[in-house]
Structure 1
């Protein structure tokens, strides 16, 4: 027997570098064929000077385990390895070491000024990016060099002409008034003894650029941009030094003559000085920037908890068309978030413009849906042979691009690429199915998640919005936590949710909040993200730390919502978005739904109050447990009095109201629940198995049908291709999830509404049903410590599979139907137990680690498809 620890991780990071905590929690997998359990884990910590220390953690836990050593200090670097001891006496070998390095934990660790390149500038349009440079001497060969950076704005840096790091749009978008993220870079190989230089490009980004819709807002966080760059060297002599750059900084306008996240970027290569970030560059015409005390920045400076935004992959055009107007149209075959990169030769002064759009309408780029986000980049050639360029301070959502002014008659192969940008999350969940359209639905959802996890979870990547809408991620969180290891992104965003939460507990409808005309009053479903997203992270990942971190925010929201209730416990007034984007809603009024918005609001109060009560139990807060249990019970009774009939039918019933009451367990008994399920199936059938739900009902309706015995109704709804349905966009060529069921009309026209996007993940939340019910894998205990494997075949689906890289290991489930036989294969990792339920069998099997093949006979009647 053997037991080897693999995938040793700190917090939720693949890269344990520049950590913002002195006590990083550790997680690991155990690779072992043993049926024993983990008895203990031993850790060995090695410091830079070779000193070792060991610590043993007793018990079977292996997910986000408390740091077993003394807290680490700022800048401290150690290596940790681990080995496992099992209950059967097996003692494993040592794991591969994990290198951890802590960033600057205290504000006093930052000793450099904020370098501000210019006074405030008018905002009639996107402003230029600034260039900053400083020269310095390195007298002793550096054996270790770190560059710590943060900015008000977005930056990109070089040392001696070589790029620092590979992140994009750093330091990212946070609630800048409260939190400013910092990055740490190992720059040891970039330095040399003697003369060196550092160069930084700095643009407005979210800090000072135009963001928001309905005209947007300029200078939201301040009229100036600035950067702090702290370079620390340790020489061969063992002495650590902070390089004093203060008096060396110089600033100049650069070749990026205009940069806006929405508008695009303009670059004049004739203005580029190739050696600007090298020692010896003539900067005599550069100006001295303003140096401000970093203490003038009131926001907390904290190291990023998530991986950065990076260039993830490149796509080549699948089609090239030479247009009558002289433009060259490129179809990349996939709607993405990213930018174009090209290589071409042009005469000095020749201008190339790059236009972007998600779809075509009337054989032209459909740019109306972008609203003010013009999304046009331009490049002015230097005229010195082949030139390569990619924008640096903007990002677009697009599938199609048109090149205006391409400098040659034809486009050489591979001369233009689409570069996909998003947070560099680790993929954890996969799904396959023998229905090509369902497979495409899942694939499209994955792409929409990727495109909308650009530093924080947004609604869309293309138009003048791109906001952290709370409602979208609230409904999508289970899918997000399955598809990718997204916990760090959500952790960072939830910190901003808490920071921007009003004193009375109200949560902005999008975070960070941008006062751009949308009502500031909070709405249920949206504000409930403050309670539900942390709870989902607990269920999916077993992260009790996120519950502790967010508990005050969770309570605040529930208190705020409860305060809106009438004396009888029902909420009947106040701002409520309700079942947003119900298909009956006209283009100009997306909130006009068939479901009572206050039924939705009251139901969500029950749900979130229950969550807070459960969290209070986990955290050992008995007073809060009693208070929020009572609140949930009182509100539930009020909900039943107001909307539930004794039969299980509901007043003003709709598919959303029934699905919500079923999913949130709002009925009094099983008889009511079964009656409600039957009525829901009837309503779905009466609607021709087309979608009749919006944001609230859509993620949960298939599950509500399946859990009440109406599996075929769920499949009929899921596999519908006529509008409105999940598969209708696929019949229209969609490669991502649309915001509206009819974002494109059957005749190819774009929905006339002002709010139309072709890349929103919210309605793709149904993939959670595909993972849990179609493939059949769901957690029974937090972090998938215990799982349920219970596929429910239906419709025309005859085979499906899923794999989830859980916190404990990779879980795989696949099944197929052969005539009347159902065959299942399941792989369970060490540390996980599974409860398996096969179709047609009442028995539930309990399985430990291993790979299993099981079969059952299933009645043909159970395989019929509703038409």
Structure 2
């Protein structure tokens, strides 16, 4: 039996990242198979400037423990050694380096530099900036602190600095601008050195938004801010004396693509202009965007019209890399799209986005890949190529925020495994610096409801805490700055169609409820009370100021998105679903008020706790008076209405909850097990059925193969989640609605059911100190395996049924320093850490397959239903 510490981390930073706090909380994650291992105490040794201070604490805490030493100064580096002692007398030690970034704005002496101003309202051609400087001796330590108002890619003496792409990413620039810190000592040399960088418009001044979008939202001058320090001295920084020039990149826009001319070399160097440095520079916890994978070309297709298209076999986000030197003349054009429509590149869903890269041949092409754009695509149409295209000519480069993968799922059901892969790839494609709604068309925006729906699944599959936590900070900053308590629909916020500038948002439920719901979801995953504390003002502002109320406290009837993209909504009116939008808003309001009461209790705000508890009770009475008949029927006879009423525990008695569950079951059976929910209720529909003893009905819905369903998308060849249940129609036509994406993660919220119910693992308390392991087989599944890297270590559950489904066997792993309540069939045990093999009697929770409720239809008008066995 062994125990070890596999990772020491600070706050929610990735290993090695510079910290923007002077007292970082420390966490350590365990590995090993030690049985029933519990930490009794720990020691933290902090070595600074050659001196070590050791702190011993009698505690089982190992997640986000307080910094024990005096506060770090800007630029200070410390070696932190953690030793965890077990109750059994064993111990484990691990070490990590902590480095403070520039903690104060006056630590910066650099300014911003740029080229002369561009004309108003045009795309900005990327440009080069450089500074040459002499060194008499190479310093022992050197750090480059660097960012851009725009995007940058830097080199020092011709060597690429770091592996970030699209740096520094996208933030709500009015409130913060992220910068990066790099160790560049190995790049320096005696004599003349040159620090240079490409700078592009990126999100800062590039076109963003639909219906044509808006340019120059935060500024019209892309610029660079860089401060190179060695052994405590500034060696070079952006100020007077920098030069700028243009080069081979003729244009590079996020939406429209990049154009290069391989025959063009760097032009004349001219004096750069100095601009004011922003006063909100921060070192981010969000991991940077990096190249995270490479997908080879699968097939070369000749379309019916004779076009050449590369199929990479996977819908992804990134760009195409040239693998070979291609000689010839002329211009090669690469158009990107997610799907083929009747054999041709399906570009209509892109709307006005060109998603096109062009390369003028004549110079070096091998190794070329775009610098300041990205595309959502599976297919790339190549024209102007001087010979036949081969699969070895190009590779698809996958890019996204490079967070740690923390969960996996697999089962005996091939199509469910593909569904899970689609959920994962949808997540990867929509976390390029901020959580977005889609990565391909003229949008790619941080819509709040999409993230709210998907956050519980996302925070299992990857460690998104740093990114989502900072994005929630932007939500709060924009909300509180605008006043009236209303979070924007989109964060970072941009002008919507018809607006000339960013305007305060109107009040809308579900989207704005991200302010209350998502912080609690992150807290559940991490146990980090600090996240709640940081978002508390945002929560209160939304509930106390942001919602127009009737005398009863419920919502006034204003525009609501409702159960957005209910499958029965018309293609051109996604809000016009089966459920009263104000009913949806009021159900979410009660849920959010209850969350606020819970969070107030966690934070010790007792008066707020009592106030919100009383308000929730009053709202529940008002909800019933408004929407629930004397016999318990909810006003909207829809899946959504009953799902959210059950999930948000709006019933006043167990009998009423059972009646609602029976009605939901009836609606699902009448719908022939097809999904009847949109953004507001899809995350909960299977969970609600399972929680109310309708497990086989949930499995039957999950395994449905006709549209609308999750597996319909899989049957149609999807490799990511779709925005609409029928983004592609059965006849191969793209949905006629203007708003159609093939990479949207919201309906991937089904991942929570895969993890928690099929896989059987969930947190019994925030942060996973206590864990529930209870797989619930159903449908045609015979086995499944799920794992999740908790803050303490890995929890796993691998189960299988015997041939006649009477015995379930499971191998479970409980991480050190935690306990688990394990239910395997009829066997319930409280287990400590280690790997355990268990067996119990099993009886399926209901008959399979459940029968639909069908009514008479004329011949030829039958409702189709096929479950994917």
Bin of the TM-score, shorter chain as denominator length: over 0.9
**Distance in 1 separating the partners of 2:388 and 2:718:** 31
* Residue number in structure 1 paired with 2:74: 74
**Distance in 1 separating the partners of 2:498 and 2:752:** 30
**Does the CA-based 8 Å contact 1:509-1:522 persist in structure 2?**
no
Equivalent runs, 1:570-585 vs 2, <5 Å: 570-585=554-569
The structural deviation recorded for 1:420 is: 0.2
* Residue number in structure 2 paired with 1:529: 514
The structural deviation recorded for 1:183 is: 0.6
What is the aligned counterpart of 2:814 among 819, 828, 842? 828
**Distance in 2 separating the partners of 1:565 and 1:698:** 26
Equivalent runs, 1:248-647 vs 2, <5 Å: 248-273=241-266, 285-294=268-277, 297-298=278-279, 300-322=280-302, 327-347=307-327, 350-383=330-363, 387-411=366-390, 413-501=391-479, 502-517=482-497, 520-561=505-546, 563-647=547-631
Equivalent runs, 1:120-199 vs 2, <5 Å: 120-124=118-122, 126-199=123-196
* Residue number in structure 2 paired with 1:276: none
Q: Number of residues paired by the alignment?
A: 841
CA deviations on 1:83-127 (whole Å, 9 max, x unpaired) are 112234x141432x2011111110001101110212132434x32
SS at match of 1:212: coil
CA deviations on 1:539-579 (whole Å, 9 max, x unpaired) are 11111111011110111111235x41210122231231110
The structural deviation recorded for 1:859 is: 3.5
SS at match of 1:39: strand
CA 831–472 in structure 1, closer or farther in 2 if over 3 Å, else same:
same
**Distance in 1 separating the partners of 2:778 and 2:579:** 28
**Distance in 2 separating the partners of 1:516 and 1:244:** 38
**Distance in 2 separating the partners of 1:201 and 1:861:** 61
The structural deviation recorded for 1:387 is: 3.4
The structural deviation recorded for 1:345 is: 3.7
**Distance in 2 separating the partners of 1:378 and 1:832:** 55
* Residue number in structure 2 paired with 1:782: 766
**Distance in 2 separating the partners of 1:674 and 1:661:** 12
Is 1:741 equivalent to 2:725 in the alignment? Answer: yes
The structural deviation recorded for 1:139 is: 1.2
**Does the CA-based 8 Å contact 2:118-2:124 persist in structure 1?**
no
The structural deviation recorded for 1:147 is: 0.7
The structural deviation recorded for 1:849 is: 1.2
**Distance in 1 separating the partners of 2:557 and 2:304:** 56
**Does the CA-based 8 Å contact 2:114-2:129 persist in structure 1?**
no
The structural deviation recorded for 1:790 is: 1.8
**Distance in 2 separating the partners of 1:2 and 1:727:** 42
Is 1:221 equivalent to 2:200 in the alignment? Answer: no
**Distance in 2 separating the partners of 1:410 and 1:74:** 53
SS at match of 1:372: coil
**Distance in 2 separating the partners of 1:590 and 1:31:** 47
CA 794–3 in structure 1, closer or farther in 2 if over 3 Å, else same:
closer
CA 592–188 in structure 1, closer or farther in 2 if over 3 Å, else same:
same
**Distance in 1 separating the partners of 2:465 and 2:733:** 38
Is 1:92 equivalent to 2:75 in the alignment? Answer: no
**Does the CA-based 8 Å contact 2:807-2:841 persist in structure 1?**
yes
* Residue number in structure 2 paired with 1:247: 240
Is 1:110 equivalent to 2:71 in the alignment? Answer: no
Gaps of 5+ in 2: 500-504, 852-869
SS at match of 2:797: strand
**Distance in 1 separating the partners of 2:301 and 2:568:** 38
- Under a length normalisation based on structure 2, what TM-score does the superposition of the two structures give? 0.94
* Residue number in structure 2 paired with 1:853: 837
**Distance in 2 separating the partners of 1:361 and 1:634:** 53
Gaps of 5+ in 1: 274-282
**Distance in 2 separating the partners of 1:113 and 1:861:** 66
**Distance in 2 separating the partners of 1:678 and 1:360:** 42
**Does the CA-based 8 Å contact 2:319-2:375 persist in structure 1?**
yes
**Does the CA-based 8 Å contact 2:579-2:637 persist in structure 1?**
yes
* Residue number in structure 1 paired with 2:17: 17
**Distance in 1 separating the partners of 2:641 and 2:237:** 64
**Distance in 1 separating the partners of 2:668 and 2:847:** 19
**Distance in 2 separating the partners of 1:715 and 1:860:** 11
* Residue number in structure 2 paired with 1:685: 669
**Distance in 1 separating the partners of 2:544 and 2:118:** 41
CA deviations on 1:580-623 (whole Å, 9 max, x unpaired) are 00011111100011111111111111111111111111111112
* Residue number in structure 1 paired with 2:865: none
- Under a length normalisation based on structure 1, what TM-score does the superposition of the two structures give? 0.94
SS at match of 2:449: helix
Is 1:233 equivalent to 2:234 in the alignment? Answer: no
* Residue number in structure 1 paired with 2:866: none
**Distance in 2 separating the partners of 1:93 and 1:508:** 47
**Does the CA-based 8 Å contact 2:779-2:849 persist in structure 1?**
yes
**Distance in 2 separating the partners of 1:382 and 1:858:** 69
CA 686–650 in structure 1, closer or farther in 2 if over 3 Å, else same:
same
**Distance in 1 separating the partners of 2:734 and 2:2:** 60
**Distance in 2 separating the partners of 1:324 and 1:776:** 48
The structural deviation recorded for 1:309 is: 0.2
